[in-house]
Amino acid sequence: MRGRHHLSVLFVAAGTAALASGAATAQLRDCASIGRDPTAYKVVLDEVSAPGNASGDSNAIRESLRFKLRTQAESLQLAAERRQLRATVCDGRVPPDESVFTGDTLDDLSRLGVVMEVWGTVRPASGGAGATPAREARLNFAVISLLRFEPGLGGFFDLSFVTPAGTSADVVLKDNVELEALATLALAVRYRRDKRYDAGARTFCEAESHIARSAQEARAGDAARWTALRDYAVTSRSALVAEAIADPSYNGGLKVTGTARGCSQ
């Protein structure tokens, strides 16, 4: 339990019902920087919305979530050279819901090198009536690489903070481990898809570590999903190494080791 506020990580499977809904026609606001250098892999960090609620409390939590997103972008960018993953900030862009990440939009984002898109929402929390109504601040993750190449896993995740109005400490002070976990997993999946074996092996390894830590920090109900995600990363890394060794055009370091190794402590 983190602090005195409720904190949970919720996983939302990419349900076919949602994909088929009318909301799929909703539009995403364009963001010029996404199209810049389509060969670079990117995490897109969008805006925070507070739909249907313009109160001061919501605005404060919205600003705190915005601060969190922007500082996360800066943190990702600091590691950009090592990971070859760029953080792209898109002010004003808010996906209306998950259903926009389908069809041509999904293909276009993937083609432009986007591996994950993140945005925030602030809403009144259910059951939050009373003198100090609670708010739910939520970071939403659309893992484009999973949606595009591993649809069976479900590519939507969210991290929610239920907090009394006017208090944003949990939002701001939360570490970035889930973002790191999902961003590195998304990147690794893309590397594997693009047969960039060395970078893929390195990045799956990093993802495993961040996912394991996310599982440790998760509530009991969510830990199993993180553990499954880690199993996927481990299995994928082994498969990637096998693919590299079987590829006659590959002459990299994985042929020295001969197996997937080194990722555990």
Partner 1 sequence: MTRYLRYWRARAAYVFLACCVAFPTSAMESRPCNDPRVFSRSPVNVLLLPYTYTGTRAQMARPLSQAAGRLGLLMEHDSLIEMTKYQAIGVVNLVRTPGSEPCEADDVWEQLVGPRRDPQAGLRPGGAVVMMWGRIYEEGAALYVQSYLRFARADTSEQIERTLPSAYGRATFAAKLPTQVVTLPPRRITLDDIASINSEFSRLAVVREAPNETAKVVDRLPDVGTPGQSLRPFGYAVVDVQGDWVRVVSLYGGPPGWIARVGSRTWPLRDRLPELHFLDAVVGYLQLRVAQEARDFPRTVAAPRLIEYSRQSLARYREATGNASPAAEALGHALLGTMILLGSDEASAVGNAQAEFGQSVRLVPYNVEARNLANVTGVLRCCAGQPRSEAGAQATMNSLLDAIGVDPENRNALDNLAAFHRLLESWPEAVTFIGAAEIERQRLALKQVTGTR
Return residues touching partner 1 (CB under 8 A). Answer: 60, 63-64, 66-67, 70-71, 74-75, 78-79, 82, 91, 166, 168-169, 172-173, 175-176, 197-199, 201-202, 205-206, 208-209, 213, 251-257, 259-265
Judged by beta carbon, residue 121 or residue 168, the one nearer partner 1 is 168
Shortest Å distance, C-beta 42 to partner 1: 17
**Nearest approach, Cβ of residue 35 and partner 1 (Å):** 19
Nearer to partner 1, 37 or 175 (CB): 175
The H or E element containing residue 161 is: strand 156-164
Find, among 144, 136, 152, the residue nearest to 193 by Cα: 144
User: In terms of CB distance, is 100 or 229 closer to partner 1?
Assistant: 229
Nearer to partner 1, 38 or 253 (CB): 253
In angstroms, what is the minimal distance from the CB of 73 to partner 1? Answer: 9
Length of the chain equals 265
CB 161 within 8 A of CB 170: yes
**Least Å from the CB of residue 173 to partner 1:** 5
> Least distance in Å: CB of 47 to partner 1?
11
CA dihedral 194, 195, 200, 201 (to 10 degrees): 170
Show Cβ contacts of residue 263 under 8 Å, excluding neighbours closer than 6 positions: 204, 205, 208, 209, 234, 237
Strands 6-12 and 41-49, sheet pairing: unpaired
**Nearer to partner 1 among residue 99 and residue 209 (C-beta):** 209
Laid out side by side, the sheet with 156-164 consists of: 6-12, 156-164, 134-142, 114-124, 41-49, 85-89
Helix (H) or strand (E) holding 234: helix 220-246
When the beta carbons of 20 and 78 are compared against partner 1, the nearer one is 78
Q: How far is the CB of 237 from partner 1 (least distance, A)?
A: 9
Distance CA 26, CA 65 (A): 24
